[in-house]
Structure 1
Amino acid sequence: MAKQLVLISHGRLCEELKKSTEMIMGPQKNIYTVALLPEEDPEQYKEKFEKVISQLDDFVVLCDLMGGTPCNVVAKMIMTGANINLYSGMNMPMVIDFINSEMVGKDLDLVNAARSNVTWVNAVIAADDDEE
């Protein structure tokens, strides 16, 4: 079975990130989402997260924000022995890199995918103008 991806976030950001990624990459059956809703407390969120991962064998978790409730819930699980790979600062390049890595069988480099896609577009435009 292929590696799976679990996106977690405050609100429905994770669900919408999956939908936006699917606009580019097509339907993704190996990507799951766990949204923290305003009415949920950390224990309810943990139960929801555990329910999703209970059906998965080999997965990576991307969260929206270091230090936020979704990240903290999973981090506490890791600190008590859970074998989970957790990355914060999720963005579309990370999700696309995950998909591409799975398609071509290459190693994941999610941190580099996130970092290398942060660009100040104004500088790129200015550099192009200078070359002309």
Structure 2
Amino acid sequence: MIRIVPEHIDSESIGILICSHGSIGRSMIEAVQMIYGDCPNIACIGLEPSDDIDDWGKELGALTETFPKGTIVLMDLFGGTPCNQYLMNMAGEVLTRKNGQACAVAGVNLSMVLEAIGQRECAELKEISEILDKAGKEAVVNVLQKMKK
């Protein structure tokens, strides 16, 4: 299991948790640090082939509880194991216990992570899902088609 959690949790900032197959989350955190430097309240959990799915799901649950002000959960693939573990184990529980202090979006890309960092200080969690959905879609560009215009 790949797991990165910040040493210090900023209690005034919403957390960002990237859930993925393999090391995608770790690589995104490294890319964010290249752009922003140290960035508070960003974590990841990556599923490896040797992981026990139940243990991984429990760790995912624990990580969603890490951030007192709520968590933006960004997953690599809708319908993949990380997303399914979130849906089966966390979604209803988190929404009930935290009165909706979580949002979850699948199909994570670097633009979404950067947008989440910017939006978590000024938008409500219930709005962030829609903002990230739009940002992720707008980040996908057919470069050659764009250059023809």
Give me the TM-score of the superposition, normalised by structure 2.
0.77
Q: In the alignment, does 2:142 pair up with 1:120?
A: yes
CA–CA separation in structure 2 for the residues paired with 1:79 and 1:73: 9
Whole-angstrom CA distance in 1 between matches of 2:133 and 2:74: 11
Q: For structure 1, which segment, 34-43 or 76-85, has the greater mean C-alpha deviation from structure 2 after superposition?
A: 76-85
Specify the alignment match of 1:85 in structure 2: 103
What letter corresponds to residue 140 of structure 2 in structure 1?
A: V
Q: Deviations over 1:98-121 (max 9, x none)?
A: 111135x24531001001111111
What SS is found at the alignment partner of 2:44?
Answer: strand
Q: Give 1:78 shift.
A: 4.2
Bigger Rg, structure 1 or 2: 1
**Structure 1 stretches (4+) deviating beyond 6 angstroms?**
none
For residues 119 and 110 of structure 2, what CA distance do their matches in structure 1 show? 14
* Among 32, 45, 50, the residue aligned to 1:21: 32
CA distance in 2, matches of 1:59, 1:12: 20
Aligned residues: 126
How far apart in 1 are the matches of 2:84 and 2:136? Answer: 20
SS of 2:104 mapped into structure 1: strand
Aligned counterparts of 1:22 and 1:79: Cα–Cα separation in 2: 28
Unaligned regions of 5+ residues in structure 2, if any?
1-11, 96-101
In structure 2, the residue matched to 1:38 is 49
Q: CA deviation at 1:37?
A: 1.4
Q: Which runs of 5+ in 1 are unaligned?
A: 128-132
Aligned-CA RMSD value: 1.6
1:98 to 116, 121, 134: 116
Q: Which residue of 2 aligns with 1:76?
A: 88
Corresponding letter in the other structure for 1:110: L
